[in-house]
Amino acid sequence: MSLKCFLTMIPPAPVTNKIKVEARGAVQNTSTDNKKVRLELLCNGQVIKAMSEVQISNGESAEINHTFSTVNLLGENKFELRVNEAGNMRSKLQKFTVVNAETRSAKLISGTWNGLYHWSEIEGKYWNQKLKMFTSEDWRAQIRGMHKLGMDIVVIQELFRNDAYYGDHKNSNGYLGFAYYPSKFGAGRVDIVCKDPLEVILDEASKLKMKVFPGVGLYAWFDFSKDSLNWHMEIAKELHEKYGHHHSFYGWYISEEIFGDLGNDPKREDEIVYFFQQINAFCKKITPTKPIMLAPNCHFVPQAVSGWKRLLSHLDILCPFGFHRMPEGDISGLEVAKLLQKLCNEAGTHLWMDMEAFDFEPDQALVPRAIEAIKKDLDLFTNFEKILCYQYQGLMTDPAEKITLGGAKAVQLFNDYKKYFSTHTGK
């Protein structure tokens, strides 16, 4: 087919009737000839935006985007992209559910991080060794467990493991990091049993109509250098070629993370802004409607307001963490949530929350957080479009799963949250 059509809703449904949603449509010309097309976006059969005829060269795309309020769209809606080429019509259709709520947030956890193996043996001591032995069926069971809790957005923590911070990323033979999937890049494979967990996760998620962000990274912790940028573009290209056919492949997650103060260094700030300007443009070329997400911590954001204003224009989704453990000398979690919302509103960036579902033991091992503490955060931080949690592995475990990651406490949190979820949704 010479024209490929794309339609992405940001954020994905279900959403509340207190936010604005972005409908992104695009058509990509994969033929060797130029194509002339007209594009329309429709909501429930009514045209909400139209473009006059445009010409698209080989390999290029035409985009049509529209941001709208959900206030009058309660219930199930149908959004459609229509592409007309010389009288031939192609279309993409998406059902989109809006629920009534008093706040922007639905006060539910809509998704979760999925760590294929935890980077720290100390933090992951209650599940890492078992996780290493996961088979394809174990990964499928875990995705089904997430789905039971309405956690239908899955963020892959990372697809490469490199413990370096700012050095030793490469040698004369290439990149030193180890891949979690069959990649032509890197020094080898991470020591896990499953040959291709990403393929399995995307496949199972597609069956359940879930959304997945493959983690493009980790080149190295906090590294946004030009070498890192070039590597990320190579990995994104490979991921798109290998897994782009999956319907669940929703967007791009950049794994490197960053502090809320953006490194507290003007040169570092420039480097980060340039990185996302370039990676955003690259990913939009190969996947015109897929959003790019970054998950920094939210500490000392006021020290980098000017930097965030520059950076957010190149980010589609900001998903910060750490609101309930603000450092001494910083503003409160609620105050930084309000500040980030203001900055995201000005930039047109979507603000989600990475809510921590863990507590630390004295040795820094992660253990499930109490359900009352989670419910308190859900009631407190109500401005976020979506709330995801870090993480499902080892902190919540479906009793139906064969391998009990995290033990009885993780099963307990799964059951406690499932009861909360059922009370709020009737599911």
pLDDT digit string, tens, across residues 200-213: 999 999 999 999 99
Q: Which of 251-255, 265-269, 295-299, 388-392 has the lowest mean pLDDT?
A: 265-269
In the chain, how many domains are there?
A: 2
User: Can you read off the two tokens belonging to residue 144?
Assistant: 């089904």
Do 74 and 115 fall into the same domain? no
Q: What is the pLDDT of residues 287-310, one digit of tens each?
A: 999 999 999 999 999 999 999 999
Cα-based angle 205, 211, 215 (whole degrees, multiple of 5): 100
pTM over 0.85: yes
Least Cα distance to 5 among 70, 99, 79 occurs for 79
Edge-to-edge, what's the strand order for the sheet holding 35-43?
15-16, 88-99, 75-85, 35-43, 46-56
Do 66 and 204 fall into the same domain? no
Angstrom distance (rounded) from CA 49 to CA 378: 35
pLDDT at 173 over 90: no
Residue 121 in any domain: the answer is yes
Residue 105 in any domain: the answer is no
- Which residue pairs, CB below 8 angstroms and at least 24 apart, start in 68-76? 68/20, 68/21, 68/23, 68/43, 69/19, 69/20, 70/15, 70/16, 70/17, 70/18, 70/19, 70/20, 70/21, 70/98, 71/17, 71/18, 72/17, 73/17, 73/43, 73/98, 74/17, 74/98, 74/99, 74/100
How far, in whole angstroms, is CA 69 from its chain's centroid? 22
Residue 172's pLDDT band, with cuts at 50, 70 and 90, is low
Is the CB of residue 253 less than 8 Å from the CB of residue 214? yes
Is the CB of residue 357 less than 8 Å from the CB of residue 106? no
Domain of residue 85 covers 3-99
Residue 209 in any domain: the answer is yes
Residue 175's pLDDT band, with cuts at 50, 70 and 90, is confident
Q: What is the DSSP letter of 331?
A: P
Do 118 and 49 fall into the same domain? no
Q: Can you give the CATH number for the domain in which 159 is found?
A: 3.20.20.80
**SS3 sequence of 81-127:** EEEEECCEEEEEEEEEEEECCCCCCCCCCCEEEECCCCCCCCCCCCC
Angstrom distance (rounded) from CA 318 to CA 299: 14
Do 169 and 312 fall into the same domain? yes
Least Cα distance to 322 among 356, 291, 349 occurs for 356
